[in-house]
Structure 1
Amino acid sequence: MEPKRCIDSLTVKNSHVLPPDTNSHGTLFGGKLMAYIDDVAAIAAVRHCRKPVVTASTDSVDFLQPVFEGDTICLEAFVTYTHNTSMEVFVKAITENLLTGDRKVCTTAFLSMVAVDENNEPTPVPPVYPESEEEKWLHDGAKRRHEHRKARRKESKELAEKFGTGLPWLPDEK
């Protein structure tokens, strides 16, 4: 497969933060922001591989600044690394007070997306290559994050097996 540039998957989404999107503190619900993050990550991944994708993991979502009602939120996402059938997508969210023009990076996240075929089976994706200094920096750390992701997934599977579908203090219902 022909390698693709990181920038070719760039996806940008802007939203106005309205009252139904906020909690009792007048700030954007974290879950709402996480849904936006998953959405832009999926679009970026599909732009990269031109195949359907599923979210395999959300490695991190770090809320750095609050997003207030009336602000806008701008999310930028692009593929930073690929591995066989998976893609790492970096997402950055910027909050802006439209009245003052004050802008702050409010959230960063890494997600893993997997390309799937018509049978929902993982399918290969093209390699990605960085060009800018920032893309290269993200790409250079991606193998470490990939290994961490694999170890965390193994631990999650062990937890699922140990605790099963029942409540932790009750035997599994079969």
Structure 2
Amino acid sequence: MTEAIPMKESRTIQSKLVLPPDTNHMNSIFGGKVLAYIDEIAAITSMKHAKSAVVTASIDSVDFVSPAHVGDVLELESIVTSTGRSSMEVYVRVISRDLLTGEQKLTTESFVTMVAVDENGKPIPVPGVFPETEAEKRLFDTGPARREHRKAKRLMPH
């Protein structure tokens, strides 16, 4: 196993402009569009960490906190918060910003689990991570509880 690397090494930031085709009849962005952005940035973040191809294993939680509207800019930020043998938990935060007023608000928060894979699609090991800032420590320290919650959900009868 390779040595653990700082969480900040995976940090990824993207900006997206909310355009009319991205919105619903309420002029706010489609939730599915935001999910696509979250999946994309989580993939980039986890590929940076694993230095390999990745697949999405789950989008564990998505909390739509407030809407974004036409003309707003979405600022997505993500980081690998914890790792398993081949899996990576990625935290994604989406802020919407009104460039005319300067108002910004939390739009969405999500945890995504990505798995590193080889050219045959088989899981491969990933390096661990370690936190350096207080915010990173909070995300890192709460990772095991989220992992247990995911395991418990998989064991529930369907």
TM-score normalised by structure 1 residue count: 0.88
Partner amino acid for 2:16? Answer: S
Larger radius of gyration: 1
- Give CA-to-partner distance per residue, 1:110-156, whole Å, 9 cap, x none: 0000000121011100000010000000111100100111121233x
Partner amino acid for 2:28? Answer: T
> Is 1:71 aligned with 2:72?
yes
Partner amino acid for 2:130? Answer: Y
The residue aligned with 2:105 is: 104
Measured in 1, the distance between the counterparts of 2:154 and 2:68 equals: 31
Measured in 2, the distance between the counterparts of 1:12 and 1:55 equals: 19
1:90-101 → structure 2 map (5 Å cutoff): 90-101=91-102
Partner amino acid for 1:60? Answer: S
The answer for unaligned runs of 5 or more in structure 2 is none
The residue aligned with 1:45 is: 46
The residue aligned with 2:18 is: 17
Partner amino acid for 1:15? Answer: K
The residue aligned with 1:86 is: 87
Measured in 2, the distance between the counterparts of 1:115 and 1:154 equals: 23
Measured in 1, the distance between the counterparts of 2:150 and 2:55 equals: 16
Measured in 1, the distance between the counterparts of 2:47 and 2:154 equals: 23
TM-score normalised by structure 2 residue count: 0.97
Per the TM alignment, residue 99 of structure 1 is displaced from its structure 2 partner at its CA by 0.4
Per the TM alignment, residue 30 of structure 1 is displaced from its structure 2 partner at its CA by 0.2
Measured in 2, the distance between the counterparts of 1:56 and 1:154 equals: 16
Measured in 2, the distance between the counterparts of 1:49 and 1:128 equals: 11
Measured in 2, the distance between the counterparts of 1:11 and 1:54 equals: 17
Match of 1:65, SS?
coil
> What is the percentage of aligned positions where both structures have the same residue?
50
1:1-174 → structure 2 map (5 Å cutoff): 1-155=2-156, 158-159=157-158
- CA RMSD after TM alignment: 0.8
Partner amino acid for 2:10? Answer: S
Partner amino acid for 1:58? Answer: I
Measured in 1, the distance between the counterparts of 2:133 and 2:106 equals: 19
Match of 1:47, SS?
helix
Moved over 3 A (4+): none
Match of 1:100, SS?
coil
- Give CA-to-partner distance per residue, 1:56-106, whole Å, 9 cap, x none: 011100000110111010100010000111000000000000100101111
**Which has the higher relative contact order, 1 or 2, with Cα contacts under 8 A spaced 6 or more apart?**
2
- How many positions carry a matched residue from both structures? 157
Measured in 1, the distance between the counterparts of 2:107 and 2:152 equals: 28
Measured in 2, the distance between the counterparts of 1:60 and 1:140 equals: 18
